[in-house]
A = this chain, B = another copy of it.
Amino acid sequence: MTDLAATVHDIARQMQHCEDRGRLPDYIPALAAGDLSKFGIAVALNDGTVVTGGDSEVRFSIQSISKVFTLTLSLGLFGDAIWRRVGKEPSGSAFNSIVQLEYENGIPRNPFINAGAIAIADALLASHEPRETIGEILHFIRMVANDEEIAIDPVIARSETATGFKNFALANYLAACGNLRNAPERALGVYFHQCAITMNCVQLARAGRYLSNGGVDPVTLRPIISSARARRINALMLTCGQYDGSGEFAFRVGLPAKSGVGGGILCVVPHVGAVAVWSPGLNERGNSQLGSIALEELATRQRWSVFG
Shortest C-beta distance, A168 to chain B (Å), equals 4
Q: In the complex the two chains form, is B90's CB within 8 Å of A97's CB?
A: no
How far is B49's CA from A66's CA once the two chains are assembled, in angstroms? 44
Q: In the complex the two chains form, is A244's CB within 8 Å of B89's CB?
A: yes
Residues on B with beta carbons closer than 8 Å to the beta carbon of A248: 88-89
How far is B204's CA from A148's CA once the two chains are assembled, in angstroms? 53
Query: In A233-289, which residues have CB < 8 Å from any B CB?
Result: 234-236, 238-240, 244-248, 250-252, 254, 256, 268, 270-271
Among A93, A245, A252: residue with most chain B CB under 10 A: A252
Known contacts A169-B172, A244-B89; is A307 also within 8 Å of B235 by CB?
yes
Known contacts A168-B184, A231-B254, A239-B246; is A270 also within 8 Å of B102 by CB?
no
Judged by a CB distance under 8 angstroms, whether A98 is at the interface is: yes
How far is B236's CA from A246's CA once the two chains are assembled, in angstroms? 10
Query: In A117-167, which residues have CB < 8 Å from any B CB?
Result: 165-166
Residues on B with beta carbons closer than 8 Å to the beta carbon of A100: 92
Known contacts A89-B247, A90-B247, A98-B98; is A231 also within 8 Å of B165 by CB?
no
Residues on B with beta carbons closer than 8 Å to the beta carbon of A15: none
Known contacts A232-B251, A307-B234, A308-B231; is A176 also within 8 Å of B165 by CB?
yes
Q: In the complex the two chains form, is A239's CB within 8 Å of B166's CB?
A: no
Q: In the complex the two chains form, is A89's CB within 8 Å of B87's CB?
A: no
Q: Interface with B: A37-45, A193-201, A210-218, which one?
A: A210-218
Known contacts A89-B246, A92-B91, A247-B88; is A238 also within 8 Å of B165 by CB?
no
Judged by a CB distance under 8 angstroms, whether A173 is at the interface is: yes
Judged by a CB distance under 8 angstroms, whether A219 is at the interface is: no
With beta carbons under 8 angstroms apart, the residue of B92, B109, B173, B235 that contacts A251 is B235
Chain A 289-308 near chain B by CB (<8 Å), digits 1 or 0: 00000000000100001111
Shortest C-beta distance, A269 to chain B (Å), equals 9
Nearest chain-B residue to A213 (Cβ)? B308
With beta carbons under 8 angstroms apart, the residue of B173, B251, B271 that contacts A308 is B271
With beta carbons under 8 angstroms apart, the residue of B90, B172, B211 that contacts A166 is B172
How far is B270's CA from A118's CA once the two chains are assembled, in angstroms? 36
- Selected A-B contacts with CB under 8 Å, 15 pairs: A88-B248, A89-B245, A89-B246, A98-B98, A98-B173, A110-B247, A165-B176, A168-B172, A169-B173, A172-B172, A211-B308, A232-B307, A235-B251, A268-B308, A306-B307
List chain A positions with a Cβ less than 8 A from chain B: 87-93, 97-103, 109-110, 165-166, 168-170, 172-173, 175-176, 184, 211-214, 227-228, 230-232, 234-236, 238-240, 244-248, 250-252, 254, 256, 268, 270-271, 300, 305-308
Q: Which 7 A-B pairs have the closest CB atoms?
A: A92-B92, A270-B308, A165-B176, A89-B247, A90-B90, A306-B306, A234-B307
